Amino acid sequence: MAYLFREDELPKLVSVTPGRERIFFVSPELAGTDAFLAGILRYKKGATSPYHFHENCEHFYFFISGNATVETEEGVRPVAPGTLVFIPALEKHRLRAGGDILYLEYQAPNRFKTTILEGTEDDLRWRKVDGKIWVQT
């Protein structure tokens, strides 16, 4: 039997750095596996991720609404709804919201270490709606 979840029933995390929110629909907490991590993210206009990379993790973004830019060592590229971005393991990257954006994120496996190149440790801190702090490693 399929399981159905409403978005408002899923774990919501709000970044300690303002303007970013993520809602997981696949995580160890929900699915009992660390084979991958998936969810939707919302960035407010002007919000940005730190310039960073992930060891042992490939990464996909699929943009649903809004416009943004993705920065890598090759430069800055605009993205719009319908764009799929693939980021290989160890690829340095940053996402900047040009307006309010909504996108799907998929990371595999969910056993990775994130290294921040520009930004602070707060850029990896997420507050659960119930007040707990999560730190991505």
Give how many domains the chain has, as a whole number. Answer: 1
Residue 68 lies in a domain: yes
Residue 1 lies in a domain: no
Residue 4 lies in a domain: no
Residue 123 is predicted with a pLDDT of 87
* Domain hosting residue 43, numbered range: 11-135
Domain of 77: which CATH number? 2.60.120.10
Residue 31 lies in a domain: yes
Residue 103 lies in a domain: yes
Residue 111 lies in a domain: yes
Strands, sheet with 113-118, edge to edge from the N-terminal-most edge strand: 75-79, 68-72, 93-97, 51-55, 113-118
State the chain's maximal CA–CA distance in angstroms.
Answer: 45
Round to whole Å and give the CA distance between 126 and 90: 22
Tens of each residue's pLDDT in the chain, 137 residues = 566 777 777 778 899 989 999 988 888 877 788 888 899 999 999 999 999 999 999 999 999 999 999 999 999 999 999 999 999 999 999 999 999 999 999 999 888 889 999 988 888 888 887 666 666 65
| Global pTM exceeds 0.85 | yes
